């Protein structure tokens, strides 16, 4: 009898989950529009020139990509003659997702710095952020844009969400973003130096044949997140305290369910994360060196992520394991990289956390997790303070 009861209860549970999933799908808004990319043999991809719209249940944004693949106005001859030409590099937190072109922090920064000089404009800020990019692509992007734009100041908008994590090249696990896009990428030599390689896409058969057990192990956490992402119930509750708890405490084959933050906040780095930080250090060192050799100044901008900004997120996730994670350790590591290379450092974290404490509201979209327009304004204001404090314009 008890066996039959267990079967009935199991079937009832499955039925409830199925009904809940159906309800969640009905209530969920389907995103309208998407940001189009075009293949690029060096960078992997670039935003496609033109205007577009992206609408979800959290935001309704527009974007306008110019001839250089930048979510910005077209570059004019007058821009190139200005005394201050600032180039902003970054990923989806800079492009951005979750805000429109005019709300992106580089575009806001331009207004904050130069809005009072419209009759005799003294400077411009170019937004070269691209969704899905990481540190290696920032270096490559700079090399491709520097002659065209001749910047006097370069802002490297490093997102703690993924930029340190997404640095595993083919043979060691593979890229997180961009799939099998052909591209250049960086790796470390056996002596710890920086070397550039080129990645050619392989067929699915070749890829599956060549993928070893170590790579499969590394992808397990992301694969589970990808599968869960197919369910509306997960998408609806992934920022809940319970979901955060599961993400931290359930680590399939030792792989974090929140890998970007895990790499950024971990106190004792394992071999893979130590490799990531070492590679990021080498790439940033090379980028800073090239920028300075070209006669420009450089600022490394730390753009924090959810667990670093919101107490409730930290306390329900990494904060439960304070012997393993440190909320500010990623920032300190970045500051050391900047200082050791003579670069300026701007940490947005304190301004974001202060705003949240005072106003009691998020400056990120709760589900999408990218900064809101208000969040971008805080980033821009923080960078303006850093530029003025150091006399960089």
Q: Per-residue pLDDT averaged across 257-262, rounded? A: 84
CA separation for the pair 24, 236 (Å, rounded): 7
pLDDT band at 218 (very low <50, low <70, confident <90, very high): very low
Sign of the C-alpha dihedral computed for residues 310, 165, 380 and 38 taken in this order:
negative
Distance of alpha carbon 38 from alpha carbon 21, whole angstroms: 35
Cβ count within 10 A of residue 256:
21
In this prediction, residue 145 carries a pLDDT of 98
Q: Is the pLDDT of residue 244 over 70?
A: no
pLDDT at 339 over 90: yes
Cα–Cα distances (Å) from 36 to 53, 166, 229, 320, in that order, read 10, 21, 21, 40
Return the higher-pLDDT residue of 274 and 230.
274
CB 306 within 8 Å of CB 260: no
Q: Which of 75, 63, 74 is nearest to 37 (CA)?
A: 63
Q: What is the pLDDT of residues 264-315, one digit of tens each?
A: 999 999 999 999 999 999 999 999 999 999 999 999 999 999 999 999 999 9
Distance CA 365, CA 154 (A): 27
User: What pTM was estimated for this model as a whole?
Assistant: 0.89
Any idea what the Cα angle at residue 122 is, between residues 119 and 127, rounded to 5°?
A: 110
- Residue 381 dihedral angles phi and psi, to the nearest 5°: -65, -40
- Give the tens place of pLDDT for each residue, 166-186: 988 887 878 888 878 899 999
Render pLDDT for 181-200 as a digit per residue (tens, 0 to 9). 899 999 999 999 999 999 99
307: closest CA among 198, 160, 183?
160
What are the structure tokens assigned to 158, written together?
């490093």
Could you tell me which of 119, 115, 124 has the C-alpha nearest to residue 85?
Answer: 124
CA atoms 138, 139, 143, 149: torsion sign: positive
| Domains of the chain: residue spans and CATH | 34-389 (3.40.50.1110)
């Amino acid at each position: 009898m008890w066996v039959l009861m267990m079967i009935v209860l199991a079937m009832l549970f499955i039925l409830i989950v199925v009904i809940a999933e159906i309800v969640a799908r009905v209530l969920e808004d389907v995103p309208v529009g998407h940001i189009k990319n075009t293949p690029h043999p060096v960078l992997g991809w670039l935003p496609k020139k033109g205007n577009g719209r992206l609408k979800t249940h959290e935001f309704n944004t527009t974007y306008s990509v110019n001839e250089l693949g930048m979510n910005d106005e077209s570059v004019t001859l007058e821009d190139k003659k200005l005394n201050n030409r600032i180039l902003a590099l970054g990923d989806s937190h800079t492009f951005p997702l979750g805000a429109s072109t005019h709300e992106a922090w580089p575009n806001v920064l331009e207004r904050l710095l130069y809005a009072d000089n419209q009759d005799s404009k003294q400077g411009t800020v170019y937004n070269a952020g691209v969704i899905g990019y990481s540190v290696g692509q920032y270096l490559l992007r700079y090399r491709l844009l520097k002659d065209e734009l001749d910047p006097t100041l370069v802002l490297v908008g490093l997102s703690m969400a993924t930029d340190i994590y997404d640095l595993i090249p083919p043979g060691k696990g593979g890229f997180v973003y961009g799939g099998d896009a052909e591209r250049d990428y960086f790796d470390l030599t056996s002596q710890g130096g920086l070397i550039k390689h080129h990645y050619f896409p392989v067929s699915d058969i070749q890829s599956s044949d060549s993928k070893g057990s170590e790579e499969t192990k590394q992808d397990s956490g992301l694969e589970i997140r990808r599968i869960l992402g197919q369910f509306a119930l997960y998408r609806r509750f992934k920022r809940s305290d319970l979901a955060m708890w599961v993400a931290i405490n359930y680590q399939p084959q030792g792989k974090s369910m929140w890998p970007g933050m895990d790499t950024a906040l971990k106190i004792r780095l394992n071999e893979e994360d130590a490799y990531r930080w070492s590679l990021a250090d080498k790439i940033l060192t090379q980028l800073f060196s090239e920028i300075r050799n070209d006669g420009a100044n450089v600022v490394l901008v730390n753009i924090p992520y959810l667990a670093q900004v919101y107490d409730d997120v930290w306390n329900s996730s990494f904060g439960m394991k304070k012997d393993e994670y440190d909320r500010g350790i990623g920032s300190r590591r970045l500051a050391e990289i900047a200082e050791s290379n003579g670069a300026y450092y701007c940490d947005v974290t304190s301004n974001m956390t202060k705003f949240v404490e005072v106003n009691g509201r998020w400056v990120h979209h709760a589900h999408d997790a990218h900064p809101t327009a208000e969040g971008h304004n805080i980033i821009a204001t923080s960078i303006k303070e850093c530029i003025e404090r150091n006399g960089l314009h």
